[in-house]
Amino acid sequence: MTLERFIKPCEFFSSETLVVADLAPRIIEHSFELPLLEELVKDTEGRPLFTQISHGLQAANQMTLWELYLRSGLPLPKGAILDAGCGDGLFFALAPHMVFNRPEIGRRRVIGIDLDPNKIKTARIVAGLIAKGFAESTRTTERPEGLSLAYLVQDPQDLARMDTEHIIINWEKKGLPEVAMVWSNSMFHWIREPENKYAALDNFNSVLQPGGVLCISMSAGGTARDFLDAYNHVIILQLRGYDSQHNPRGYHRVGFETDPIGSRPLDEIVNMIEESGFDVAAGIELPESITYDDPRQYSRAVEVYGSKAFLRPVPHYSKAGMRKLWGDIEQEFLNILRKKGWKDGQPWTYTQFNNYIVAVKKAEVVSPEKRVAPVPVTSFLNERFLNASYKAMLSQSRRNMTISLSGNQEEVEGVETTVNIHDIFKAILTYATSNWVREDVMPVCTIQYRVAGEQSLVLGIDVKPTEKKPVQSLFRPGVLKRLQQSNVGMSHTDLENGIRRYEFNVPLF
Ligand X SMILES: C[S@@+](CC[C@H](N)C(=O)[O-])C[C@H]1O[C@@H](n2cnc3c(N)ncnc32)[C@H](O)[C@@H]1O
Question: Applying CB under 6 A, which residues contact ligand X?
Answer: 58, 62, 85-87, 90, 114-116, 119, 158-160, 185-187, 190-191, 305
**DSSP assignment string, 270-328:** HHHHHHTTEEEEEEEEEEEEEEESSHHHHHHHHHHHHHHHHTTT-TTS-HHHHHHHHHH
Give the nearer residue to ligand X in terms of CB position, either 93 or 459: 93
Classified as helix, coil or strand, 203 is helix
Give the nearer residue to ligand X in terms of CB position, either 223 or 418: 223
Give the nearer residue to ligand X in terms of CB position, either 213 or 488: 213
Give the nearer residue to ligand X in terms of CB position, either 158 or 369: 158
Give the nearer residue to ligand X in terms of CB position, either 68 or 336: 68
Q: At closest approach, how far in Å is the CB of 469 from ligand X?
A: 19
Residue 195 burial (C-beta neighbours within 10 Å; 0-12, 13-18, 19+): middle
Nearest to 281 by CA among 214, 219, 218: 214
Q: At closest approach, how far in Å is the CB of 472 from ligand X?
A: 21
Q: At closest approach, how far in Å is the CB of 209 from ligand X?
A: 21
Nearest to 290 by CA among 335, 213, 224: 224
Give the nearer residue to ligand X in terms of CB position, either 114 or 332: 114
Give the nearer residue to ligand X in terms of CB position, either 215 or 432: 215
Residues 6+ apart with CB under 8 A from 379: 385
Rg (the chain; Cα; Å) = 25
Q: At closest approach, how far in Å is the CB of 383 from ligand X?
A: 38
Classified as helix, coil or strand, 225 is helix
Give the nearer residue to ligand X in terms of CB position, either 60 or 427: 60
Distance between CA atoms of 414 and 412, rounded to whole angstroms?
A: 6
| Alpha-carbon distances, residue 39 vs 46, 130, 442 (angstroms) | 10, 11, 58
Q: Cβ distance 296 to 230 under 8 Å? A: no
Give the nearer residue to ligand X in terms of CB position, either 223 or 456: 223
- Secondary structure in 3-state letters for 82-134: EEECCCCCHHHHHHHHHHCCCCCCCCCEEEEECCCHHHHHHHHHHHHHHHHHH
Q: At closest approach, how far in Å is the CB of 174 from ligand X?
A: 18
Q: At closest approach, how far in Å is the CB of 156 from ligand X?
A: 8
Residue 417 backbone phi and psi in degrees, to 5: -145, 155
Q: At closest approach, how far in Å is the CB of 82 from ligand X?
A: 11
Residue nearest to ligand X (CB): 87
CA atoms within 13 A on the CB side of 261: 25
Give the nearer residue to ligand X in terms of CB position, either 60 or 432: 60
Q: At closest approach, how far in Å is the CB of 320 from ligand X?
A: 23
Q: At closest approach, how far in Å is the CB of 183 from ligand X?
A: 8
Q: At closest approach, how far in Å is the CB of 87 from ligand X?
A: 2
Residue type present at position 162: M
DSSP 139: -
Distance between CA atoms of 122 and 406, rounded to whole angstroms?
A: 57
Give the nearer residue to ligand X in terms of CB position, either 54 or 505: 54
Q: Cβ distance 289 to 367 under 8 Å? A: no
Q: Cβ distance 263 to 305 under 8 Å? A: no
Q: Cβ distance 430 to 394 under 8 Å? A: yes
Q: Cβ distance 113 to 159 under 8 Å? A: yes
Give the nearer residue to ligand X in terms of CB position, either 119 or 464: 119
Q: At closest approach, how far in Å is the CB of 66 from ligand X?
A: 12
**DSSP assignment string, 381-404:** SSHHHHIIIIIHHHHHTT---EEE
- Secondary structure in 3-state letters for 160-202: CCCCCCCCEECCEECCCCCEEEEEEECCHHHCCCHHHHHHHHH
Residue 118, sorted as left (phi over 0), alpha (psi -120 to 50) or beta, turns out to be: alpha
Q: At closest approach, how far in Å is the CB of 86 from ligand X?
A: 6
Give the nearer residue to ligand X in terms of CB position, either 190 or 198: 190
